[in-house]
A and B are shown apart, each in its own frame.
Chain A
Amino acid sequence: MNDLVSGIDIAFWALAAIAVLSGWRVFSTDSMVRASFLLLLSFMAVAGIMLLLAAPYIGVATIFMMAVEMMVMAVFMVMFMMNPAGLNPMSMVHQQPLAIGAGVVAFIGLSAAVLTSPLPDQPVAADHRAIHALGIEMLGDSMLIFESAGVALLSAMIGSVILSSRSGRFGPADPGSRPPGLCEGGLPAGSVPDENKNHGMGHGMQHDTPNAAPQDTHGAHGAQGS
């Protein structure tokens, strides 16, 4: 019996160390894709701890969801970060002392609250059917909460598609989404999307924007001499 308890303890401390270390390495690694997958490793360690806590569904569902999320995060890293592979290491931090101070204060404050407050002590039974209880609860007493979460997810899906659609709210998003010119005021790198192709999406609206004219931030396209 003592062996079994200490086995769980060893597993817990190992997983906790992995979670915290990989969480720290997320912000100190050069390669951005590695950062997102290090965060995935942190989530997987936490999911392992949850499996030790006798919550199998939540643990495995965390791994499932976080793998997909971190995959999408890696794709966004490559989209928006300057050197996603870390081949030119650069430090992109600001207000570092304040941030470190805030993190340390948060950790110390929360730990102090944990250590000084009386914590409850009603452990879950070892043979508790957690998934069954969760299912009965989710689709029984807490159906309203569950359905509200579903509606919130649906509205987030619709909202994110609208926010990032190509035919934006204030005009087409093409001028803003083109990369800057290769030289000052020159042609943008990459291909210029065709303004009138797939436009209107069946509404038949014709936009009056002049053909392929980027905004002023890129300089007047073609207006300067060569």
Chain B
Amino acid sequence: MNAATAVGATLLLMLGGAWLVAVFDRIAAALVARRPVGSLWLGPLQSGASLLVSRTNQTEHPDALNWALAPALYLVLAFVGVALVPFSTSGALVDIPAGIVLWGAVESLTVVAVFLHGWSANALFPLLGAYRYVAVGLPIMLVSMFVLIAAALPAQSLALGAIVQSQAGLWNVVRQPLGLPLFLLLGLSLTLRGPFNYADSADLAGGTDAERSGPPRAVWQWARLSMAVSFSAMAATVFLGGPLGPAWGTAELGPLWLTLKTAVVLALLVAASHLLARMPPSRMLTLLWTVLLPLSFVGLVAAGIEAAP
């Protein structure tokens, strides 16, 4: 597929996926609270539109440049993540030999974007949210890199196309059972959801987004949803076989399978964000460094032993 089609498909996946995440959020919230869901399909669009017409808040001496750039950076990173994903066996929009490492760079720059968003407001709760997020977001990145390296071992390559090809016999979610659950935790952290929502949490009155209203808030929330799509596409590629499907001989069905698997991972992500318990930052840090990181290392060692020739 040529570049224009690929860009169009990427944008379509991002926009449609962001809408789908918002819809899933509404369904999950209604299920958890046991009340009927309101306007399911138009609700996200309505709340976005209402944000677009409200007034933008100002604080005293904000870092205006970074306050405007942070949501834009977050959006660009989400786009880069989706651009890395191979839509079909013919390749991805951004096809570099070190695709996994570029995704790692996207993760670390996400932490930078969230910190800048909280820092720039020059207000207390956003800054607290940014600091808490940095403390938790950096270690969870280590967990994700171990998990991704474990997925790259059977493929003997860091490129996402090769990782997809290596799952032609058996998907990585079966071959490396620790991989997808740990990667989902990273997804919660990247999209500021669930137990990893230290940046925008309710106990900080909205955290990094507390002082924001109007169009910039709409852009930030949209960027969070787009990052969920980007993460889910990456998880579907690395663990669920990406564009591979029963009829993968025909390259045209590849995007369909990828979209379906992305939707499945999105549903898992939203479910995890509403069902997992939250903990104070200190306890989460203990869990990260003493339980999750050794678990990911065990998974890496197991994958290495299994992939050794």
Is A–B contact present in the complex under a CB 8 A cutoff? yes
Interface residues of A (CB under 8 A from B): 31, 33-34, 37, 40, 51, 56-57, 60-61, 63-64, 67-68, 70-72, 74-75, 85, 87, 129-131
Q: Is the CB of B138 within 8 A of A68?
A: yes
Most chain B beta carbons < 10 A, residue from A40, A64, A75, A131: A64
Q: Residue of B at shortest CB range from A129?
A: B97
The one of A31, A67, A74 in contact with B105, judged by C-beta atoms closer than 8 angstroms, is A67
Q: Is the CB of B112 within 8 A of A131?
A: no
- Dominant secondary structure at the B interface: helix
Q: Is the CB of A60 within 8 A of B112?
A: no
The one of B66, B101, B112 in contact with A67, judged by C-beta atoms closer than 8 angstroms, is B112
Once the chains are docked, how many angstroms separate the CA of A19 from the CA of B131? 28
Q: Is the CB of A57 within 8 A of B108?
A: no
In the assembled complex, B102 has its CB within 8 A of some CB on chain A: yes
Q: Is the CB of A71 within 8 A of B115?
A: yes
Q: Is the CB of B97 within 8 A of A131?
A: yes
Given contacts A60-B102, A131-B98, contact A71 B111 (CB under 8 A): yes
The one of B119, B131, B141 in contact with A33, judged by C-beta atoms closer than 8 angstroms, is B119
The one of B109, B122, B158 in contact with A57, judged by C-beta atoms closer than 8 angstroms, is B158
Q: Residue of A at shortest CB range from B111?
A: A71
Which residues does chain B contribute within 8 Å of A40, judged by CB atoms? 112
Q: Is the CB of B96 within 8 A of A67?
A: no
Q: Is the CB of A64 within 8 A of B104?
A: yes
Once the chains are docked, how many angstroms separate the CA of A37 from the CA of B119? 12
In the assembled complex, B61 has its CB within 8 A of some CB on chain A: yes
Q: Is the CB of A71 within 8 A of B138?
A: yes
Q: Residue of A at shortest CB range from B113?
A: A67
Q: Is the CB of A61 within 8 A of B101?
A: yes
Which residues does chain A contribute within 8 Å of B97, judged by CB atoms? 56-57, 129-131
Once the chains are docked, how many angstroms separate the CA of A64 from the CA of B142? 11
Given contacts A61-B98, A67-B112, 11 further A-B contacts (CB under 8 A): A56-B97, A57-B98, A63-B108, A64-B105, A68-B108, A71-B108, A71-B111, A71-B115, A74-B115, A129-B97, A131-B158
Task: With both chains docked as a complex, state the minimum distance between the C-beta of B129 and any C-beta of chain A, in angstroms.
Answer: 14
Q: Residue of A at shortest CB range from B119?
A: A33
Q: Residue of A at shortest CB range from B101?
A: A60
Which residues does chain B contribute within 8 Å of A34, judged by CB atoms? 63, 66
Q: Residue of B at shortest CB range from A86?
A: B63
Task: With both chains docked as a complex, state the minimum distance between the C-beta of A44 and any C-beta of chain B, in angstroms.
Answer: 9
In the assembled complex, B116 has its CB within 8 A of some CB on chain A: yes
Q: Is the CB of B98 within 8 A of A60?
A: yes
Q: Is the CB of B105 within 8 A of A63?
A: yes
Task: With both chains docked as a complex, state the minimum distance between the C-beta of A22 and any C-beta of chain B, in angstroms.
Answer: 14
Given contacts A37-B116, A68-B138, contact A56 B96 (CB under 8 A): yes
Task: With both chains docked as a complex, state the minimum distance between the C-beta of B182 and any C-beta of chain A, in angstroms.
Answer: 18
A and B contact pairs by CB, cutoff 8 A, 14 listed: A33-B63, A51-B96, A60-B102, A60-B105, A61-B98, A61-B101, A64-B105, A64-B108, A67-B108, A68-B111, A71-B108, A72-B138, A75-B134, A129-B97
Which residues does chain B contribute within 8 Å of A131, judged by CB atoms? 97-98, 157-158
Q: Is the CB of B63 within 8 A of A70?
A: no
Task: With both chains docked as a complex, state the minimum distance between the C-beta of B68 and any C-beta of chain A, in angstroms.
Answer: 14
Q: Residue of A at shortest CB range from B158?
A: A131
Q: Is the CB of A31 within 8 A of B109?
A: no
Q: Is the CB of B63 within 8 A of A85?
A: yes
Q: Residue of B at shortest CB range from A74?
A: B115
